[in-house]
Amino acid sequence: MIRRTSDLIGRPVVSSDSGKKLGTITDVLVDESEGRLVGLVLQHGWLKSEEVLPAAAVQTLGTDAVVSRSSELMDANQWRERHARTSRSDEPPADQLPWNG
């Protein structure tokens, strides 16, 4: 099935291990060189803090919500640092790195 990335914006993300809502998708991260999804940017809480759900952690892209394999997210700044580092080295892509800290 083909979906527009814009259809994901505003969709809630829930964790399969806890059933907890992790946030709402505000942006989609795509690797331009390969044309593949690498992560989803989520906002949550009163301060609308941003965190990233790596593509490898996405279990299901449902019609009403996205389901994550885990409730752990990566801080957006931490994700940017890892992604910048991996794009300059022989390490695996950012979405294949351990993202739980």
User: What was the pLDDT predicted at 1?
Assistant: 64
DSSP state of 11: -
- CA angle (74, 2, 52) in 5-degree steps: 5
Instruction: Identify the structural domains of the chain with CATH numbers, from first to last.
Output: 5-94 (2.30.30.240)
pLDDT band at 59 (very low <50, low <70, confident <90, very high): very high
Q: Note the pTM of the prediction, 2 decimals.
A: 0.74
For residues 8 and 12, what is the distance between their CA atoms, to the nearest angstrom? Answer: 9
Instruction: Check whether 76 has a pLDDT greater than 90.
Output: no
For residues 29 and 46, what is the distance between their CA atoms, to the nearest angstrom? Answer: 23
Q: What is the mean pLDDT of the chain?
A: 80
pLDDT band at 87 (very low <50, low <70, confident <90, very high): low
Question: How many other C-beta atoms lie within 10 A of the C-beta of residue 25?
Answer: 21
